[in-house]
Structure 1
Amino acid sequence: MHNPNRRDFLIQSTALTAGLLSAPGLLTSASARPLKNPMPRWKGFNLLDFFSPDPAKGRPATTEEHLQWMADWGFDFIRLPMAYPSYVQFDRSKPITVAEVRNIDTQATDRIEQLVYLAQKYGLHVSLNLHRAPGFCVNAGFEEPYNLWQDAQAMDDFVYHWAFWAKRFAQTSSKKISFDLLNEPCTREDMNDQHSKRGPIPGELYRKMALEASQAIRAHNPEHFIIADGNNVGSSVIPEITDLNIAQSCRGYNPGIISHYKAPWVFKETDNLPKPKWPGQVGDKYLSRAMLEAQYEPWIALTKQGVGVHCGECGCFNKTPHAVFLAWFEDVLDVLKTNGIGYALWEFRGSFGLLDSGREDVVYEDWHGHKLDRKLLDLLRKY
């Protein structure tokens, strides 16, 4: 599928008809044709407790105190990007085998469940996300036994994992939990090469994945709230699924020269990159708010078709000058807010985060033993 522009999207989205189902806070009646985003404008953070395939190499655990701070600051949303190997039992001295993919470790899933319920205690909606699913991850660093987009067994195992989570939270209200199917779907020339060329998943294949997973999830609770990340690494709307009662998740990382300046997993060479500015000429491009407005046009059109939209990830690596980051990010947040779209910062703590980001040009505030980026917090609370 090519990257749809506004005209293409409006043509393709005529498939959305009165047959759309409604779910609380997700879609309105198709006949109503809403003028704003029908999805709640949740605001919060990605928490990386279960992000690593190897729990021994994971991030420090999120505490109850952290969750209380989020709520006290006015946030109401967390996204949990999970690597399925983090909660599966297998011989970690070797690559995982197909036979081991379904060996779910209930002690590990209990820890995930405990964090979910603890977050909900503070009024935070929790969105479970498979960041690494059987047979696919946008990141390298773990050897999969098959390819989600090519192997039927991988797709079956992917659906199995979502059925497990849907059953686990079958009695939890859609106001408290949602299911974000797969982080940033894309094709990869080489799954083990972080810099390999990426492209969009064919629309009919994306639909197959979303349909099978959503059916398995809603078999346990027909009101379960489901989200699909944009195609082509989260950048493109998915017109092929607008009839499936599934919200869609965009990204807030454009342009990458600002959001991922000197990030080694994005740029092979980081020493000779043009210095980021906002707005301004950077390399061969003039960077401005206009490019953001063009980027989000198809997503805004999607909301007007009755499909919920949320920005599941946004933020900036700690090598970008702080003043440039804040100027750019305020435009990102303002465009999102103007169109009723919520967001989740990547991340709460760490190099993209609100706490302990390791920036060299920030005067941090001491916050209960953490280094708080007060200017970033003030900006987030403003939007």
Structure 2
Amino acid sequence: MIYINSFFKILIISVLMHLTFCFKNNNQDNLTTISKPDFTVKRGVNISHWLSQSNKNEEERLNYFSEEDMKLIASLGYDHIRLPIDEKNMWDENGIKDTLAFQSLHSAIYWAKNNDLRVIVDLHIVRAHYFNNEYNPLWDDVTEQQKFVNLWRQLSLELKKYPNGLIAYEILNEPVANNAKDWNDLLSETIKEIRLNEPFRTIVLGSNKWQSVDTFQNLKIPEEDSNIILSFHFYSPHVFTHYKAPWSKIGFYNGPIKYPGISINKEDLKEYTKEQISLLEDNVSYSKDFFQDKMQSAIQIAKEYNLQLYCGEFGCFPSTPNKDRMQWYSDIISVFNENNIAWANWDYQGGFGIIDSKTGVINKELIEVLIKDN
């Protein structure tokens, strides 16, 4: 009897070990089998307010974004998502990982892989840095800088199992450092840390001051590292793209607005204070040619380094006149297409969304403009 029990115990253990081995190998095969071996992107969309800028509980998070959404994104013609994550959503104040939040992150990566999409994991906001704050301790507190590098050490160890062709890392969304050197120094230390474990992972770098094209020349790009994508954001002209946006400093303006041309006529500013007018007045005539000229320095730098240029955010708030809004998107996309600039529009179902978050209705007109000739 003892012999029989021992025999069955050994048999059961062997079967379990075999099943575990098969599962792990099948799981690994699923991860590494992807149609494109290198991390290449062309058109994407931001998945905002899910693991970033969100106070959703777990049930709300599960209902907000799912594999069905990922399938829809792929069906619309996108090839990747940019996935913002925040420190406060992924780690508690003691630096302990939120298990459920990390499960959502892993789920998103698997869903993307299953739908032949790539993922850019974007560390969007950390406790020591938010792009809208007047003061960010990240730039002059060594402890916070070490903590930031450690966040990326943890992320790299967590995500390094995924193929280089499936995911990429964006170090920090819209850095607003005191000066370019502060950002370049932190960037260098963070990249060194990531490269210890992942020498070939694609890393997305943006310039200081909100990833503006105007500061591109101050970005220190790692030498002899081809696994880099250079990123900028584009919301010009701000008075047009953020028309009536409630969080914006210019959200108070409710007069006429237009694109192309000068966004606001002087006669429409008479009822506003001098301080308000200083935020709104802009005598530049905006057009596709203006956008081309504005992006030219970034385009040239990317060519010099033979690196992919990427616009990780752009968008126009839907309160703008629809005809003008569609023309703005059309001109931006044309410049991207003509200059081999990959992009991810802001966003999927947030305030700028291609989908109305309340009704779930797809903005087909916007999709047609975004995906045209692409």
TM range (shorter): 0.7 to 0.9
**TM-score by structure 1 length?**
0.75
Number of the residue aligned with 1:226:
203
Number of the residue aligned with 2:234:
252
Identity %: 26
Over 3 Å counting, the alpha-carbon distance change for 1:285 and 1:319 in structure 2 is: same
- Mapped partners of 2:90, 2:263: distance in 1: 46
Structure 2, unaligned runs of 5 or more: 1-36, 266-282
Contact 1:129–1:179 under 8 Å retained in 2: yes
Number of the residue aligned with 2:331:
331
Q: Deviations over 1:310-353 (max 9, x none)?
A: 11011111211111111011111110111111111111113201
Number of the residue aligned with 1:351:
351
Deviation at 1:370, TM superposition (A): 2.0
Letter in 1 for 2:237: P
Number of the residue aligned with 2:361:
371
Q: CA RMSD in A?
A: 2.4
- Mapped partners of 2:261, 2:250: distance in 1: 25
Number of the residue aligned with 1:193:
none
- Mapped partners of 1:252, 1:323: distance in 2: 20
For the pair 1:293 / 2:283, whether they are aligned, the reply is no
Contact 2:207–2:219 under 8 Å retained in 1: no
Query: Greater helix percent: which structure?
Result: 2
Contact 1:179–1:226 under 8 Å retained in 2: yes
**TM-score by structure 2 length?**
0.77
Number of the residue aligned with 2:185:
208
Aligned length: 311
Number of the residue aligned with 1:271:
253
State the SS of the aligned residue for 2:102. helix
State the SS of the aligned residue for 2:230. strand
- Mapped partners of 2:194, 2:76: distance in 1: 32
State the SS of the aligned residue for 2:247. coil
Contact 2:245–2:251 under 8 Å retained in 1: no
- Mapped partners of 1:120, 1:43: distance in 2: 16
State the SS of the aligned residue for 2:257. coil
Q: Which has the higher contact order (CA 8 A, sep 6+)?
A: 1
Letter in 2 for 1:111: S
For the pair 1:128 / 2:121, whether they are aligned, the reply is yes
Letter in 1 for 2:285: Y
Q: How does 1:1-383 map to 2 (within 5 A)?
A: 40-48=40-48, 49-52=50-53, 54-56=55-57, 60-90=63-93, 100=94, 102-139=95-132, 147-187=137-177, 201-235=178-212, 236-244=215-223, 245=225, 246-268=228-250, 270-280=252-262, 282-283=264-265, 284-305=283-304, 306-356=306-356, 370-382=360-372, 383=374
Letter in 2 for 1:213: T
- Mapped partners of 2:102, 2:112: distance in 1: 15
- Mapped partners of 1:212, 1:373: distance in 2: 42
Over 3 Å counting, the alpha-carbon distance change for 1:56 and 1:329 in structure 2 is: same
